[in-house]
Structure 1
Amino acid sequence: MAETGSTHYRFERLHIDSPDGQRHYRLDIGIPRNPPPASGYPVMYLLDGNNVMAELHEGWLGELDAGTPPLLVMIGYDIDGTYDGEQRTRDYTGATSEAFLQVLESRIKPEVQARYSVDLGRQTLWGHSFGGLFVLYALLQQPHAFQTWIAASASLWYQPTTFDNGMSLKAFPAGTAPTVRLVKGEREGKPPIAQFDGGSPERRREMSAVPRDANRLLAEHLATLPGTEASYQEFNGRNHGQMFGTALHLGLRRAAGLPEQP
């Protein structure tokens, strides 16, 4: 899309490093051709930005003109392909995800806010798979950072503490009223944990204990918290990979203030 162009968006590219200089991020920024509202553009931060750029459709971007087209911040890596498994596992999961959250909050968002007119009251974080897991982790860690959180096919089985912490949460801090959207495909399931070679037997037991319908259960629990709007939807016939595009389309529309389905 950045190469072929769009009649609805123009694209710029930025590079951001972590404070220690060891991690390098490529930001593809989609700027609506419509001028920003007086309050600034809604802004949507998208994980797995390389793949988002590959999946964007001109038709989807055109639909956004019916609402308030958001500024798109696609956070990826400086690689030729769409995925870097090692880097995204480091950033989106485990103890090291805290470092990425700090880069997002202290480096990426300030740079975007300094360069573009954005509405700080309409910020969305979107992610799929491990990215969806990170969205939920970030929600629990810093619920004030965004107003809308979209977690697609979140790999809650991989990080049981995120599911457990979410299910034990009694309330978000005063002054936060998050909107949380969890979506998943009907044909998705947990991998064979017994064959998982990424940890100890205890870790495999913890992963196995995460319910198959963890995304639904978490959404239902979050919906009971004061001031929180949370929902879950399962899409018929979709598998894990197919949910990337499905969730991207609905996320773009939601960020623009439109109904999720055209």
Structure 2
Amino acid sequence: MDELNQNRDETLNRLAPEKKTGIQSVDRALTILEIIAASTGEISLNDICARAGLNVSTGHHLVKTLVSRNYVAPGSGRGTYSLGSQVLTLAGAVNWQSNLSGRAQPLLDHLNATTGEAVHLAVLEGVDLVTLIKREARHALRVDAGSIGKTGACHATATGKAILAWLPEDEALKVLEARGMRAFTEKTITDRDRLLQELHQVRTDGFAVDNEEFQQHVVCVGAPILDQNGSVIGSISVSTPTVRASDEHLALVRREVMAATGKLSGRAPETAKN
């Protein structure tokens, strides 16, 4: 027990006030959360303030704000606090995202086998669309499945549009402004307002389509993967050459892509009811 207390005290000491940069109130709030976490239980407001180098009045206002957002919870003793339920929600979202590739592997294999086409799993890292996993088509005639890694084609791909459609509009615009809207083919949408209209339709339908916008003679269908809070964390798409893109085949692709993303999502995408 003495060793446990010593380790706890060493951790808390490392969180003692240092020279800070950035927004002071945010930094202080995060420091409070770290101090409470390091206490491995309940900790008094006075101890929190002492460790954080805050006067009690300032510490009380910060803790009160964190309590109102459920990041901190009142303890069993008077004037004591512990971590709140919202911290568990964030932790769950992190675990959900970090395990995405592993959870997706069997579903991508099934999707590849069922459609016979190229399959992609992509995420947005900052403003970059990143392909994490791909599966080549099983046909002799196949599309170029591209490579693993970054691409500046959010606006022109089914994986990209599926992600953009479920982002808040201001975040989607940041991606478009940072990476531009290059014309990859004559069908690429390069007008921002027109793309925003399509993204609204994508969200209504629940899936996105790249109709020869990234590669000539290639049609792709993609759908979003959502976390438990309904935020988009990635997307899956299937690519097929136009010679196989019959209405029947594309309907199969849509069903299978949306089934796969539905199984990976913590919450089903909200779509318009027909």
Please classify the TM superposition score into its range, dividing by the shorter chain length. Answer: under 0.3
Relative to its length, the structure with more helix (as a share) is: 2
TM-score of the aligned structures, taking structure 2 as reference length: 0.24
Structure with more relative contact order (C-alpha pairs < 8 Å, separation 6 or more): 1
Relative to its length, the structure with more strand (as a share) is: 1
Higher Rg of the two aligned structures: 2
TM-score of the aligned structures, taking structure 1 as reference length: 0.24
